[in-house]
A and B are shown apart, each in its own frame.
Chain A
Amino acid sequence: MFSKVLFGRFVPTNSVIHKLDPRAKLVLSMYFIVIIFFANSWQTYAWLAAFTLGTILLTKVPLGFFWDGVRPLIFIIVLTVILQIFFSSGGHVYWQWGILSITQFGLINGAYIFCRFVLIICMSTVLTLTTQPLMIADAVESLLKPLTKIKVPVYELALMLSIALRFVPTLMDESQKIMNAQRARGVNFGTGSLWKRVKSLIPILIPLFISAFNRAEDLATAMEARGYSGGEGRTKYRLLHWHTADSVACFVMVAATIILLTLRYFT
């Protein structure tokens, strides 16, 4: 059941996008999500879709992966689009029943929201498919560095983030194993009343928590034994390098924004 989760799945294809600095990718993908909200017409959405498609093709990752990213969220997307269609008013009214109506603006807004969702999911999938989770953690650490000035424990946060990311797949494997062990002892997951279903989670959750505690204790001991004593005075093994390609990527994004704003305000 967990095998379908796309989170933290990295697909190495050694493309241009893969080689970009993770800081650049993180900032640019967040920036892109913000500028999506500036789009307000067919031309602007068509331009953003073309831009996203271009990025996706550059990653050389099979398109199926992006579909896998959208699929689990399809229910939320469809629900939002339907609500938008039935509850928006304005423009030509095609059909009306009580407070429900299908109007011209409703249809258009529905379509826009659909585009927005798909574009956001695709762009964030580009980030996760082309960047190793540890690199994302490094990027977060490096981007938060300035916050150390106001006493934010950035180093500790980054350490927790990279340990957490590292253990996501391990804990998923572990929960799958515990689940199988309890099924073999006669637990039926996902059947019966709500109360029964909630109760059937206890035999997974307790062992999972206990093994997480044990794991944390072992990990802390192993870290201390290897001379770890906090963030002060440590050097870094993985260094992030800003290359020309990263500057080019930022430049491309600025150009894309200019085209978007031109389409928005001058057509």
Chain B
Amino acid sequence: MSTIEFNGVNFSYQVGTPFEVNALHDINVRISDRSYTAIVGHTGSGKSTLIQLLDGLIRPTTGTIKVGNETISSTSSNSELGKIRSKIGFVFQFPENQLFEETVLKDISFGPQNFGKSEDEAIVLAKEAMQLVGLDDSLAQRSPFELSGGQMRRVAIAGVLAMKPEILILDEPTAGLDPRGQRETMQLFSQLHRKNNINVILVTHQMEDAAAFANQVLVMNDGNLVKAGSPNEIFSNPEGLIGNHLTIPKTTKVANELTKGGFRFDPYPLTLEELSRQVAKQLESGSN
């Protein structure tokens, strides 16, 4: 229903000025419905530009992006782009900076109201979203600016989830959170993906997250999409990552060292659990 297709997409900033910068070159990729896609790449590789194009916040210089039945091209009108945005939830980096309303509840129901829900409907959606992100009901009437950093982040994420998006774009959602907050947030998104069939697109620098949660990984470098494949394909080839200025997940590092020592892994372990399970099995069978 909401398959995403990039067809020959190019994007340049400040076209026609001396400052023109070509940020994306000929992107062709298909992101299937209900998938969990991780976009990785070092700083300035074009990840953020790519997801802004997808949400219709900027228009491609050439090429088209198909989101479900809608198409984004260089000539798309604002109302067409608005229609696409209503299907997509976008959690920006440090989303707590977007809060502005007097109360938490009002801020969360702001998105749904903008997309045509009545106030009562929006409040019902907002309450659902608060429960989803684990915010206590007692916070509903508080000012968002009285909350802690972690709670503000939850309010901001709830504000996006309340719009019931079919596609959820996450731009480094765990940046600046403590380890527990990071784990809980990532688990929340993974749960949404599995239970509510939401198509998740995650931009991240944490290779561990990409390996553990995604079922498709896109590797960006210098405005090019250099690789697309399953986490297995991407992470079992560490040279391909290092060549694109990326690190490899710790699990992969350990697995590679063990392979040199005679261990054989199949399937390739992407999580710590999977790695330890396979190591334990091989040790038990005493194949070494």
Note all chain A residues with C-beta closer than 8 A to B110.
Answer: 185, 203
Pick from A64, A183, A188 the residue with the most CB of B within 10 Å: A183
Note all chain B residues with C-beta closer than 8 A to A4.
Answer: 17
B98 touches A68 (CB 8 A): no
Rounded to whole angstroms, the CA-CA distance of A206 and B107 in the bound complex is 12
Shortest Cβ distance from residue B80 to the other chain A in the assembled complex, whole angstroms: 13
Note all chain B residues with C-beta closer than 8 A to A180.
Answer: 52, 57, 92
Q: Across the two chains, which residue of chain A brings its CB closest to B110?
A: A185
Contact size range, B: 20 to 34
Note all chain B residues with C-beta closer than 8 A to A203.
Answer: 98, 100, 110
Rounded to whole angstroms, the CA-CA distance of A219 and B95 in the bound complex is 21
Instruction: Kindly supply a per-residue 1/0 record for chain B positions 52-65, scoring 1 wherever the CB is within 8 Å of any chain A CB and 0 otherwise.
Output: 10010100000000
B19 touches A3 (CB 8 A): yes
Q: Looking at chain B's contact residues, is the secondary structure mostly helix, strand, loop, or mixed? A: mixed
B92 touches A186 (CB 8 A): no
Any A CB within 8 A of the CB of B13: yes
Note all chain A residues with C-beta closer than 8 A to B99.
Answer: 207
Rounded to whole angstroms, the CA-CA distance of A66 and B145 in the bound complex is 44
Any A CB within 8 A of the CB of B2: no
Any B CB within 8 A of the CB of A111: no
Rounded to whole angstroms, the CA-CA distance of A181 and B93 in the bound complex is 9
For A177, give its contact among B97, B159, B163 (CB under 8 Å): B97
A183 touches B85 (CB 8 A): yes
Q: Across the two chains, which residue of chain A brings its CB closest to B14?
A: A3
B237-262 CB contacts (< 8 Å) to partner A: none
Rounded to whole angstroms, the CA-CA distance of A188 and B86 in the bound complex is 12
Any A CB within 8 A of the CB of B90: yes
A191 touches B97 (CB 8 A): no
Any A CB within 8 A of the CB of B160: yes
B98 touches A186 (CB 8 A): no
B18 touches A181 (CB 8 A): no
Note all chain B residues with C-beta closer than 8 A to A115.
Answer: none
A149-189 CB contacts (< 8 Å) to partner B: 174, 177-178, 180-188
Shortest Cβ distance from residue A186 to the other chain B in the assembled complex, whole angstroms: 3
A178 touches B18 (CB 8 A): no
Any A CB within 8 A of the CB of B111: yes
Any B CB within 8 A of the CB of A211: yes
Any A CB within 8 A of the CB of B75: no
Any A CB within 8 A of the CB of B114: yes
B92 touches A184 (CB 8 A): yes
Note all chain B residues with C-beta closer than 8 A to A182.
Answer: 98
Any A CB within 8 A of the CB of B44: no
B98 touches A181 (CB 8 A): yes
For B163, give its contact among A62, A185, A202 (CB under 8 Å): A185
Rounded to whole angstroms, the CA-CA distance of A181 and B78 in the bound complex is 16
Shortest Cβ distance from residue B172 to the other chain A in the assembled complex, whole angstroms: 13
Note all chain A residues with C-beta closer than 8 A to B145.
Answer: 210
Shortest Cβ distance from residue B252 to the other chain A in the assembled complex, whole angstroms: 33
B19 touches A186 (CB 8 A): no
Note all chain B residues with C-beta closer than 8 A to A86.
Answer: none
Any B CB within 8 A of the CB of A117: no
Q: Across the two chains, which residue of chain B brings its CB closest to A68?
A: B17
Q: A65-B18, A184-B55, A188-B82 are in contact. Are A206 and B100 (CB under 8 A)?
A: yes
Q: A64-B18, A177-B97, A206-B100 are in contact. Are A185 and B114 (CB under 8 A)?
A: yes
Note all chain B residues with C-beta closer than 8 A to A183.
Answer: 57, 85
Rounded to whole angstroms, the CA-CA distance of A188 and B88 in the bound complex is 15
Note all chain A residues with C-beta closer than 8 A to B19.
Answer: 3
A184 touches B90 (CB 8 A): yes
Note all chain A residues with C-beta closer than 8 A to B88.
Answer: 184
B97 touches A62 (CB 8 A): no
B98 touches A188 (CB 8 A): no
Note all chain B residues with C-beta closer than 8 A to A68.
Answer: 17
Shortest Cβ distance from residue A217 to the other chain B in the assembled complex, whole angstroms: 13
Rounded to whole angstroms, the CA-CA distance of A67 and B93 in the bound complex is 36
For B159, give its contact among A64, A185, A187 (CB under 8 Å): A185
Q: Across the two chains, which residue of chain B brings its CB closest to A179?
A: B57
B13 touches A186 (CB 8 A): no
Pick from A65, A186, A187, A211 the residue with the most CB of B within 10 Å: A186
Q: A62-B18, A178-B97, A210-B145 are in contact. Are A186 and B78 (CB under 8 A)?
A: no
- Of the A-B pairs whose beta carbons lie under 8 Å apart in the complex, a sample of 18, sorted by A's number, is A3-B13, A3-B17, A62-B18, A65-B18, A174-B97, A180-B92, A181-B90, A181-B92, A181-B97, A185-B110, A185-B114, A185-B163, A186-B85, A187-B114, A188-B78, A188-B82, A203-B110, A210-B100
Given contacts A65-B18, A186-B163, 11 further A-B contacts (CB under 8 A): A3-B17, A3-B19, A64-B17, A178-B98, A180-B57, A184-B57, A184-B89, A186-B113, A188-B82, A207-B99, A210-B145
What are the 5 closest A-B residue pairs judged by CB atoms, nearest first? A186-B114, A184-B90, A206-B100, A181-B98, A185-B111
